[in-house]
Amino acid sequence: MRDSFLSFSPPLIGEEEINEVVQTLRSGWLTTGPRAKQFEQDFAQFIGADAALAVHSGTHAMLVGLAALGIGHGDEVITTPMTFCSTVHVIEQLGARPVLVDIEPETLNIDPREVARAVCPRTRAVMPVHLYGHPCEMDAILDIAARHGLYILEDAAHALPARYKGRMVGTLGTLTAFSFYATKNLTTGEGGMLTGSASIIEQARTWSLHGMSRGAYQRNTAEGSWYYEVVLPGFKCNMTDIQAALGLQQLKKLPQFQQRRKEIVRRYSQALAEYEELQIPVERAEVESAWHLYPVRLNLDRLTIDRARFIEELRARNIGSSVHFIPIHVQLYYRDKYGYKPQDFPVAYDNYLRLVSLPLNLRMTDSDVEDVLEAVADVLAEHRR
């Protein structure tokens, strides 16, 4: 057994990021400036998106994205219960109604057939979440959206970089939100990016910065640089140049980061496929997953312990793990407001009870990976039925 604790997802920050942050601090530009602008351009180019807006978090990318689409009171937005709470919070915060639908058993992504069934005259948008980095069934979702005139705002917090049928996630729906939180595939500590068409991104930019529009003085410089117009009751979630400094350097390393993730995933899947007690994650032929997480599902009928105990047993062997996610419909606020029961979304709930995410991060050495496998083998050997 290893003698030190293996953290679940520590960030990997190199000298390049540190130097870029120090240069930023010396430059005099702390808040949104040249580095934020450069990061937006580099990111849009990397994705192949028309335009990008850098903000303070992935959550804010979704919030200003929905606001820019005009989503508000009386509107419904269809999304998945198998996500982080903020996907659903942003809908709620804008006064719209989140409509949850169940997920596909294979990928745990939103089920397009359930989306089609939930569309009604109040539906304005669909928010698919590319869970664990595996793209959703986008052709089916795009088709539903086209037939009913709906927007698509993708939660791609896990899906940088990911491809669906050769196309990069970030170029598929109306808007796509990425997160650069400390545990994500690319990190700026806190941070996020919204990609989409230039016109919607400019509207989202106004929402992200107090609803201030510089349009008037850009057109009429006689007004002077002190002049601005407030056209919306906007939020305040612009990205700072300090965050962007991290992002600029992390983006350069992303291809090599992804290679390493895939190496770890290959080793995990090769070693874990043999266990009848586990179900390993899939990558469908038509996609390239970003492999943000490596969730295994326990076949509980083959074990004498439950998921919580499995996590404790890993911890006792110095291996950190986690659960992604506790479904939204069992969280108190949503359960009570909408009267949800666990079995309202049986695929989400039943899989939740079986999910454990194993460590998958860029700080792991090959021997750390073997330590995880050894710990899993040991727990299974001790607790198989």
Ligand X SMILES: *Cc1c(COP(=O)(O)O)cnc(C)c1O
Interacting residue ranges for ligand X, rule: CB under 6 A: 57-59, 83-84, 86-87, 129, 155, 157-158, 179, 181, 192
Q: Give CA–CA dist 109/80, Å, rounded.
A: 8
Q: Count other Cβ atoms within 10 Å, centred on residue 121.
A: 6
Give min distance, CB of 59 to ligand X, in A: 3
**In the bound complex, which residue of the shown chain has the CB atom lying closest to ligand X?**
58
Closer to ligand X by Cβ: residue 83 or 238: 83
Give min distance, CB of 50 to ligand X, in A: 22
Q: Please confirm, yes or no, whether 184 is among the known catalytic residues.
A: yes
H helix intervals, the chain: 15-27, 34-47, 58-68, 85-93, 112-118, 138-148, 198-208, 215-219, 241-272, 307-316, 332-338, 346-352, 366-383
Give min distance, CB of 277 to ligand X, in A: 27
Give min distance, CB of 177 to ligand X, in A: 8
Structure tokens at 332: 């108190």
Closer to ligand X by Cβ: residue 158 or 205: 158
Q: What are phi and psi of 252, to 5 degrees?
A: -60, -30
Give min distance, CB of 58 to ligand X, in A: 3
Q: Give CA–CA dist 139/172, Å, rounded.
A: 9
Q: Give CA–CA dist 268/194, Å, rounded.
A: 32
Q: Give CA–CA dist 383/264, Å, rounded.
A: 25
Which of 37, 184, 236, 253 is flagged as catalytic?
A: 184
Q: Which residues pair with 53 in a beta bridge?
A: 194
Closer to ligand X by Cβ: residue 180 or 380: 180
Give min distance, CB of 367 to ligand X, in A: 28
DSSP 289: -
Closer to ligand X by Cβ: residue 189 or 211: 189
Closer to ligand X by Cβ: residue 57 or 258: 57
Q: Look at strands 278-279 and 294-298 and give their pairing.
A: antiparallel
DSSP 172: S
Closer to ligand X by Cβ: residue 247 or 277: 247
CB-based burial label for 10 (10 Å; 0-12, 13-18, 19+):
middle
Q: Give CA–CA dist 84/57, Å, rounded.
A: 13
Q: Write out the catalytic residue numbers.
A: 184
